Amino acid sequence: MSRITVLGGTGYAGSAIAAEAARRGHQVRAVARKAPDAAHRLPDVAYLGGSVTEPVFLESVAGESDAVVSALSPRGPMLGQVRIVNAQLIGLADKLGFRLAVVLGAGSLFTEPGGPRLADLPSFPAAFKPEADEMAEVLSDLKASPAGVDWFAVSPASGFGAFAPGQTLGRYRVGGDVVLADAGGNSYISAGDLANAVLDEIERPAHRRARFTVAY
């Protein structure tokens, strides 16, 4: 059993990761700006409310963790803040020794080896470009982190989101920096199977200091 802390633990990806971690028997803490009421809490998950943009609070929740999952989205008031928080997490991981997992978006994935990023295509929604650019900066910061920092980052399929929840199938394909799609050009994964990929990597590390992508 590992002690796993999920930042953004009430969001779409974060809540799925917290649920799967608890299902597997880990000790789980979900961190959000405001802890949910009893009716909306997952069983076997401890909730902590507070702002991860406050360094003292961030260190307090990251401490005594074997793994910290950053499932933060740079939206609304968090736009421009997620990179800062993850940079602080890199420093804390170097100091405290926990494994750092970061859930990125799909925008920083390449369309093909040597090709453009998804976020650089004319068809990419302009409203989401700032988010994609910030998460690409997070990935750059991870790659530039001290050699002793044990991190991994995962980008979901380009069709990932609450708009297409789907079902947890218990399977997925793994790729590198290029978006994965099926024969019909569809790129999709459910929150449940993204969570499976994150927990599988925490339990059986295969991507140390690397980003990978998952899709069906």
pTM of the predicted protein model: 0.95
Question: Domains in the chain, please, with CATH?
Answer: 3-215 (3.40.50.720)
Report pLDDT for 54: 97
Count of H-run helices and E-run strands, the chain: 5, 8
Query: Can you tell me the distance from the alpha carbon of 58 to that of 82, in angstroms, rounded to the nearest whole number?
Result: 12
The answer to whether 156 and 214 have CB atoms below 8 angstroms apart is yes
Ordered per-residue pLDDT tens for the chain, 216 residues:
899 999 999 999 999 999 999 999 999 999 999 988 888 898 999 999 999 999 999 999 999 899 999 999 999 999 999 999 999 999 999 999 999 999 999 999 999 999 999 999 999 999 999 999 999 999 999 999 999 999 999 999 999 988 888 899 999 999 999 999 998 889 999 999 999 999 999 999 999 999 999 999
For residues 102 and 116, what is the distance between their CA atoms, to the nearest angstrom? Answer: 22
Closest by Cα among 144, 137, 142 to 152:
142
